[in-house]
Structure 1
Amino acid sequence: MKKRLIPYFLLLILVSACSNADATKEDNTSDETVTYQSETGPIEVPADPQRVVILSGYTGNVIHLGVNVVGVDTWSKNNPTFAEELKDVEEVSEDNLEKIMELEPDLIIALSTVNNLDKLEKIAPTVTYTWGKVDYLTQHIEIGKLLSKEQEAKEWVEDFKQRAGEIGEDIRAKIGEDATVSVIEAYGKELYVYGDDFARGTEILYQTLNLKMPEKVKENALESGYYTLSAEVLPEFAGDYIVMSKYSDADTSYQETDTYKNIPAVKNGNVIEMQGEGASFNDPVTLEKQLAIFKEGFLGN
């Protein structure tokens, strides 16, 4: 009887040893770090982050790179573009440190203006970015570097630039090289017109599709990024085409006025509408969605 038990005990010891070895291997993998050169200097971050909290507009970048997100800011959580990906993700705030701690993040991504940065850094390595410091495609590559996904980020950027460039050529061939496009947004009771790097599809339209901006928009919105309008002066800022970003609760009474109805772009059916909620992001998930809208809007396919 005792002789029969010996092999069984040996088997248990071997299984236990293997399990311990695997656990040690997993621990070593999760504890491995790399040095990321951030805006504020070198930071030790996980080589393979598993639990990321995002307190910024970079949620779509992280989602697109396939990295697990456990907490996001309110704007990201309420973004319909990310609804499926974030359905089980917690909404967090830079001021609710306890909730962030409960999520046990191994990496936090935030804006450079974030509150409580010193306290966030004690919870997990915290990397901040200044919004607009680099262009929207370079930003994605930077986040790729942070997440050890630089190659994947570069490949998407090159592919996107090529695809969008070809679509831009087709659009300009159809509407004319000199045709102008305005990006206008209805938010609450306000109307805004945007420059070439303020989301709402502006980066794609002006930087990648190489479409032209009306002179009035250049004068008032190119440097500042945006300009507040009244419905009465809307015709002065309207291009041959209008991309209209509308929030669901926006006051759209301006669309019932003769001033609006007599704008050539409106009379010619050259208004491309898109949902305002989520349009203020410029990550790959949002950009792919917007590119499809513009392709359909300008080319009809």
Structure 2
Amino acid sequence: MKKLLTPFLLLSLLLLSACGSSSAKQEGNTTPSDNNKSESTTITYQSENGPIEVPANPQRVIVISSFAGNVMSLGVNLVGVDSWAKQNPRFEELKDVAEVSDESLEKIIELDPDLIIGLSTINNIDKLKEIAPTVTYTYDRVDYLTQHLEIGKLLNKEKEAAAWVEDFKKRAAALGEDIKAKIGADATVSVIENYNKQLYVYGNNWGRGTEILYQEMKLNMPEKVKESALEPGYYALSTEVLPEYAGDYIVLSKSSETDNSFQDTETYKNVPAVKNNHVFEANMNEFYFNDPLTLDFQLEFFKKSFLGN
């Protein structure tokens, strides 16, 4: 009887062993690029300041400045963001996320982040590094789309970031052709903002939709704007000289909480773009950034504004 049972027992043990081995292999195949990553797994990110170990699947990210929309667009959880992101009415999912700054170190410690992201100009970087891996970026060191790819690499979601960039460029270029067909290839566009009782005109890389209008759609910037704002990114101007910087079309970024009395002046009313009803007003708090969520919103805004659909 024992001789008859032995082969069956051996066969059963072999099958169990094989199943266990297969299961172990499947569990052990998890790499930093997989979606189901272990929280303890890390990757090495090549930051502008050198290699840094960061979580392969960050769960509690804090953005000190600028990049909240990039992180949200990639589906990564935020536990703390800067005041500018909190003020954006389109970022409703940040309603219950804590507001932090580079000075609120105790609050940041309480939030227990596993990754901190910000601009290279923030304060207390060394102290922040003691709390969690901290990665900073110098604004405009790379173009805005490359910046999103870098955020994608940092969050181990480079494929997702690259797919969005490719799709966005196609959509923006196609819309640009439609707009130029309607307004004319030689028409000029200015992006102007009224911030804190001061008017600013923007170049091609300072948010407010400038990247879309000038870089992707290749619409024309007035010569005066090129001279003053293209290199520094923005230029302050008075109402009196506004006509010199106004294009055939104006994208006006403003807030209802700001004094907009300049729009009641004869100087403003006599600007050709104003008289021709070619001024498209945008909510300043929605229009600041150049992250994917904001860029998609801006693209839709320009479609409705220029084409009426």
Matched residue SS, 1:248: coil
1:207 to 193, 211, 215: 215
1:52 to 48, 61, 79: 61
TM-superposed deviation, 1:248: 2.2
Determine whether 1:283 maps to 2:291. Answer: yes
Find the counterpart in structure 2 of residue 131 from structure 1: 139
Determine whether 1:217 maps to 2:220. Answer: no
For structure 1, the residue ranges without an aligned partner over 5 or more in a row are 1-24
TM-superposed deviation, 1:188: 2.0
Find the counterpart in structure 2 of residue 154 from structure 1: 162
Matched residue SS, 2:118: strand
Find the counterpart in structure 1 of residue 112 from structure 2: 104
Matched residue SS, 1:292: helix
Aligned partners of 1:188 and 1:247 also within 8 Å? no
Aligned partners of 1:188 and 1:249 also within 8 Å? no
Determine whether 1:239 maps to 2:247. Answer: yes
Find the counterpart in structure 2 of residue 13 from structure 1: none
Aligned-partner residue type, residue 242 of structure 1 = I
What is the rounded CA distance, in whole Å, between the counterparts of 1:124 and 1:117 in structure 2? 11
TM-superposed deviation, 1:251: 1.7
Matched residue SS, 2:199: strand
What is the rounded CA distance, in whole Å, between the counterparts of 2:238 and 2:188 in structure 1? 20
TM-score scaled by length of structure 1: 0.90
Determine whether 1:227 maps to 2:235. Answer: yes
- Name which one, 1 or 2, has greater alpha-carbon Rg: 2
2:89 to 80, 83, 93: 80
Determine whether 1:41 maps to 2:50. Answer: yes
Aligned residues: percent identity?
A: 67
Matched residue SS, 1:88: coil
How many residues of Structure 1 are paired with residues of Structure 2 in the alignment? 277
Find the counterpart in structure 2 of residue 16 from structure 1: none
Aligned partners of 1:196 and 1:207 also within 8 Å? yes
1:178 to 167, 186, 192: 186
Q: How does 1:288-299 map to 2 (within 5 A)?
A: 288-299=296-307
What is the rounded CA distance, in whole Å, between the counterparts of 1:255 and 1:145 in structure 2? 44
TM-score scaled by length of structure 2: 0.87
For structure 2, the residue ranges without an aligned partner over 5 or more in a row are 1-27, 31-36
